[in-house]
């Protein structure tokens, strides 16, 4: 999926945060890393790309669709069908087990068809993420690393054309970090999708096609970013 941003201006209320991006194009199948200090707008841009928030001015487009201009319900359906978002704070549902959390996009959007092929893919993903023994475990019984891997599995399961990952290795030990990064790149290659990742781990940067340093956007520091 190709993403394009033009003349975007975004601010959070009166908090002083302001993100200004004159132009940014992300090509279909490209692997991009966002780097920069906390508060520079990396997470905010992921949220703009996903259509979770919309800019005060300018456009955010996915292919031929201006996602910054379509109604909320349509934008939400588009996001569930096309975007896999790995949130930094996981956004898991406490009263659902691991399996049901991974299947959540299929419960939220009827355009995603839940069948045997999805169940088989879930089984394979769980094994790759070392979650096979946790599929029926409540979320509050999981370690931080297991919760992170569950969030990654949920994002990957629907085979999205765009994966947005906000510090997906931040709660993982070195061995798990390597496994998860390998899995992410394996999935994006296999499904020919676009990957955009926020990371502070500069040891990963050589694996990306392009690295975008957010200091160029001159956004003041804020807890939102």
Number of domains in the chain: 1
Q: Indicate whether 138 belongs to any domain.
A: yes
| Rounded Cα distance, 159 and 81, in Å | 9
User: pTM of the prediction?
Assistant: 0.90
At 97 the pLDDT is 96
CA dihedral (208, 12, 156, 98) positive or negative: positive
| Rounded Cα distance, 56 and 96, in Å | 36
Mean pLDDT of residues grouped by 10 in the chain (225 residues)? 93 80 94 91 94 94 92 90 91 95 89 89 92 95 90 92 91 82 86 92 93 74 43
User: Residue 50 is part of which domain span?
Assistant: 3-217
Q: Indicate whether 224 belongs to any domain.
A: no
Q: Indicate whether 223 belongs to any domain.
A: no
Q: Indicate whether 222 belongs to any domain.
A: no
- Is residue 152 classed as helix, strand or coil in its secondary structure? helix
Closest by CA to 44, choosing from 164, 128, 204, is 164
Domain holding 197: CATH number?
A: 3.40.50.300
Q: Indicate whether 147 belongs to any domain.
A: yes
Q: Indicate whether 225 belongs to any domain.
A: no
Q: Indicate whether 104 belongs to any domain.
A: yes
Task: Compute how many other C-beta atoms are within 10 angstroms of the C-beta atom of residue 113.
Answer: 9
Q: Indicate whether 133 belongs to any domain.
A: yes
């Amino acid at each position: 999926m190709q993403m394009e941003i033009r003349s975007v201006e975004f601010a959070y209320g009166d908090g002083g945060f302001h993100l200004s991006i004159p132009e940014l194009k992300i090509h279909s199948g490209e692997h991009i890393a966002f780097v920069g200090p906390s508060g520079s707008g990396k997470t905010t841009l992921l949220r703009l790309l996903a259509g979770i928030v919309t800019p005060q001015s300018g456009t955010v487009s996915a292919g031929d669709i201006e996602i910054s201009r379509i109604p909320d319900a349509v934008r939400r359906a588009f996001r569930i069908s096309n975007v896999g978002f790995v949130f930094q704070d996981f956004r898991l549902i406490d009263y659902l087990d691991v399996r049901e959390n991974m299947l959540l996009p299929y419960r939220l959007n009827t355009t995603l068809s839940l069948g045997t092929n999805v169940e088989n893919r879930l089984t394979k993903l769980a094994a790759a993420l070392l979650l096979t023994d946790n599929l029926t475990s409540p979320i509050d019984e999981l370690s931080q690393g297991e919760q992170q891997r569950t969030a990654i599995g949920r994002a990957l399961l629907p085979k999205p054309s765009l994966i947005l990952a906000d510090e997906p290795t931040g709660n993982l030990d070195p061995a798990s970090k390597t496994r998860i990064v390998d899995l992410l790149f394996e999935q994006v290659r296999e499904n020919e999708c676009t990957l955009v990742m926020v990371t502070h781990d500069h040891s990963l940067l050589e694996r990306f096609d392009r690295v975008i340093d957010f200091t160029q956007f001159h956004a003041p520091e804020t807890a939102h970013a």
